[in-house]
Structure 1
Amino acid sequence: MEMKKRLTLELRNKKPGEVKELVLDNCRSDDGKVVGLSSDFENLEFLSMININLLSVSNLPKLNKLRKLELSDNRISGGLEVLAERTPNLTHLNLSGNKIKDINTLEPLKKLPNLHSLDLFNCEVTMLINYRESVFTLLPQLTYLDGFDADDREAPDSDPEADGDGLEDEYENGEEGEEEDDDDEEDDLDEEVIDDEEDEDDDLEGEEEEDGVDDEEEDEEEDGEDDEEDEADDDLPRGEKRKRNLEDEGEEDPEDEEDDEDD
């Protein structure tokens, strides 16, 4: 796809001034130059033109707010003074896989005071003796060269605002928060079930204790009645007591039988 058509597609009916990020990777540039971009993209902060057969950045418009520029896998060999003139606030520049051979080719970048990250992977210049020391000496404002500082300490993760990683992090955190909330709800439900079961057990134990008390009381009452009957029998005269015992056993008193015979 040609660069102009790709640019129109990326705009998606937006005005150039509304665009902050623009990716034109793998399209075809006309004559190896930047085509279609203008200073109307005044709020552009991130621009990526990877592998578009770019030979020069001479047609790059004035982009005062541009902070990150991706130009890897092209055929740029010089002309970097344009960047100093038209992207004065650049902080990240990726020129990996281009045709840069000499340290002096990078000298125009001294005019970019905010440039703190430069990538030159797979450029011939990286094969020079004392390459890293020479670049850090030439560009003292640099913090990272090819992902490492002057003391060989690796650079932290890239800028989330420029790469759009911030939105992904927020989305992931949101999901984790929902999962944590779900877990909390499940824990609360489990605790409620356990509490209900413990309450039921307590109620059952209480009922069993009450039943035991009632049974004991009934037994005590029956024993008391039997004792009263025994005490009453003890108070009867001897003859009456004997007669009652015989009646309980279903036998007649011999004295009564004698009375009947006399009659």
Structure 2
Amino acid sequence: MININLLSVSNLPKLNKLRKLELSDNRISGGLEVLAEKTPNLTHLNLSGNKIKDINTLEPLKKLPNLHSLDLFNCEVTMLINYRESVFALLPQLTYLDGFDADEQEAPDSDPEADGDALEDDYENGEGEEEEDDEEEDDLDEEVIDDEEDEDDDLEGEEDEDGVDDEEEDEEEDGEEDEEDEAEEDHPCGQKRKRSLEDEGEEDAEDEEEDEDD
């Protein structure tokens, strides 16, 4: 709720889970006890650019035990002598005031706790599910590759079996041809052909003998 001309936070609803509240550049000058009642688990509060003038105005924030970071930039209270020491003494639960701790060490850019919550929210919103889907897709790809390799092995086995079957068929055909030749010889026509060939051989032999006598 930045720069919306707020005069107070009296109408703030009950927000037990709220951790970070941005109220900068408004016109709030007091009434911070409402924050302790409505937002008891605040860890970060930004009141910079408001009309806070006195340290005592911040006293109700003592009831926020988890408040670790408070911003009061451009508030008149920051012009007081010993301002930082007084605020840290009043609110001992604070770690950072205006972006620096009590030893003037600057606060990190991001809060680990808040980042953890953001990751949790992303997972709940479905981003974590996308990562799971990617892993499932990778597993499916591996299964498809395995299936293709199994199919290739099956095809090679079938080709080998086909080769064996072809050889057996060739052998069977050769055997059938031999049987047919034997059958022809046993057949009467085959026997006649065999006899005619024998007669022709005898005639040729007689002709040769006559030639020799001449």
TM band (smaller chain) = 0.5 to 0.7
- The yes-or-no answer on 1:244 pairing with 2:195 is yes
Q: Deviations over 1:124-156 (max 9, x none)?
A: 333556543342133323233234433456668
Relative to structure 2, which stretch is displaced further, 145-154 or 217-226? 217-226
Say if 1:117 and 1:143, in contact at 8 Å, map to a contact too. Answer: yes
Instruction: Write 1 or 2 for the structure with the bigger share of helix.
Output: 2
- Cα pair distance change 1:255/1:87, threshold 3 Å: closer
- Cα pair distance change 1:200/1:138, threshold 3 Å: closer
- Cα pair distance change 1:247/1:152, threshold 3 Å: farther
Relative to structure 2, which stretch is displaced further, 53-62 or 141-150? 53-62
Q: Deviations over 1:156-199 (max 9, x none)?
A: 8999999997698156552x344244434534543444344333
Say if 1:99 and 1:123, in contact at 8 Å, map to a contact too. Answer: yes
- Cα pair distance change 1:247/1:150, threshold 3 Å: farther
Deviation at 1:79, TM superposition (A): 6.6
Q: Helix, strand or coil for the counterpart of 1:253?
A: helix
Relative to structure 2, which stretch is displaced further, 120-129 or 88-97? 88-97
Distance 1:84 1:179 in 2: 39
Distance 2:212 2:54 in 1: 157
Deviation at 1:229, TM superposition (A): 12
Tell which has more relative contact order, 1 or 2 (C-alpha 8 A, sep 6+).
2
Deviation at 1:221, TM superposition (A): 7.0
Q: Helix, strand or coil for the counterpart of 1:99?
A: coil
Say if 1:56 and 1:79, in contact at 8 Å, map to a contact too. Answer: yes
Deviation at 1:231, TM superposition (A): 14
Say if 1:246 and 1:252, in contact at 8 Å, map to a contact too. Answer: no
Deviation at 1:73, TM superposition (A): 1.9
- Cα pair distance change 1:249/1:57, threshold 3 Å: farther
Say if 1:243 and 1:253, in contact at 8 Å, map to a contact too. Answer: no
Q: Deviations over 1:39-68 (max 9, x none)?
A: xxxxxxxxxx65454556789999999987
TM-score by length of 2: 0.54
TM-score by length of 1: 0.45
- Cα pair distance change 1:223/1:136, threshold 3 Å: same
Q: Helix, strand or coil for the counterpart of 2:21?
A: strand
- Identical aligned residues as a percent: 92
Distance 1:248 1:118 in 2: 133
Deviation at 1:120, TM superposition (A): 0.5
Deviation at 1:97, TM superposition (A): 0.5
Deviation at 1:253, TM superposition (A): 5.2
- Cα pair distance change 1:247/1:191, threshold 3 Å: farther
Aligned-residue RMSD, C-alpha:
7.3
- Cα pair distance change 1:112/1:225, threshold 3 Å: closer
Distance 2:37 2:167 in 1: 105
- The yes-or-no answer on 1:99 pairing with 2:51 is yes
Q: Deviations over 1:73-100 (max 9, x none)?
A: 2234457678789988876543210133
Say if 1:246 and 1:253, in contact at 8 Å, map to a contact too. Answer: no
Which residue number corresponds to residue 92 of structure 2? 140
Say if 1:120 and 1:126, in contact at 8 Å, map to a contact too. Answer: yes
Distance 1:210 1:77 in 2: 93
Q: Deviations over 1:5-51 (max 9, x none)?
A: xxxxxxxxxxxxxxxxxxxxxxxxxxxxxxxxxxxxxxxxxxxx654
- Cα pair distance change 1:164/1:96, threshold 3 Å: farther
Relative to structure 2, which stretch is displaced further, 239-248 or 123-132? 239-248
- Cα pair distance change 1:251/1:215, threshold 3 Å: farther
Say if 2:123 and 2:129, in contact at 8 Å, map to a contact too. Answer: no
- Cα pair distance change 1:215/1:171, threshold 3 Å: closer
- Cα pair distance change 1:178/1:121, threshold 3 Å: same
Deviation at 1:121, TM superposition (A): 1.9
- Cα pair distance change 1:154/1:55, threshold 3 Å: same
